[in-house]
Amino acid sequence: MLLRQWAARILCLSLVLLIATGCTATASPPDGAYSLKSPSADGIGKVYYGREIANVMGYQGANWLARPSRATEERSDMAVDALLLNKDYVVADIGAGLGYISFQMARYVEDGKVVAVDVQPEMLALLEKECDQYGVTNIETVLGTESDPNLPDESIDMAVMFDAYHEFAYPREMMKGIVKALKPGAQVVLAEYRAENPLVLIKKHHKMSQKQVKKELTGVGLSWVKTDDRLPQQHLMFFEKPT
């Protein structure tokens, strides 16, 4: 009987502490709150909203980003069409890599520009070389950091992330920087391989579910607008900054 009483007291105390600190199973993590675990084969061991962050693809794997089969596997042409870009937009390609998406968007924003942001100067150097080679003048490169896109406040009409967000080492800080850079009412668009579909043969931590994406992006103040399902393997998810 005594043991049961002590167990009940301990349980009550634990519940009181959880309520007092807000540390419930469904509570949103506070700013910068990450936990650590033993890294998985394709993860970094850093956990955010229950998701282990994926390893970053380095510039050494740039050839995979430009693989000939990518056009048919991802149908990025349909994805860029779905963005409904105005020709005077300033659109940020976050995690631009070699500029695979940047160059496609540049054709739509002839009176605006694409701001290609990446944390790897080697990637940006390759992108700039392509711009020079093909005479593309409306792509501007920006070297960001792991926690800051280095964009001016309220300077962009849209931010897109194609298979990049899941690799952000500081997703909360990066997204807060992106939200600050958006004009009021501007949108963020994510393309991520569907974690819900086991037939999408991409490493586990390089896929995301709709539920997970919504949880993380609404956590920084964005509102989910829609999910476009036209792509063969990826979610194309639209979020909006409040006006």
Number of folded domains in the chain? 1
| pLDDT band at 29; cut points 50, 70, 90 | low
203 found inside a domain: yes
pLDDT exceeds cutoff 80 at 165: yes
- Residue 28 placed within a domain: no
Could you tell me if residue 178 is inside a domain? yes
pLDDT at position 49 over 70 = yes
**24 in any annotated domain:** no
Q: State which amino acid sits at residue 98.
A: L
CB 161 within 8 A of CB 75: no
Residue 32 has pLDDT above 90, yes or no: no
User: For residue 1, what pLDDT is reported?
Assistant: 41
Cβ contact 102:134 at 8 Å: no
pLDDT of residue 170: 95
Residue 140 dihedral angles phi and psi, to the nearest 5°: -115, 135
Q: What tokens does 20 get?
A: 């007092």
- Structural domain for 201, as ranges: 35-240
Does a structural domain hold residue 130? yes
> pLDDT value at position 204?
81
CATH number (domain holding residue 221): 3.40.50.150
53-57 mean pLDDT: 84
Q: Let me know if residue 18 belongs to a domain.
A: no
Q: Is residue 22 part of a domain?
A: no
Residue 177 lies in a domain: yes
Share of the chain above pLDDT 70, in %: 79
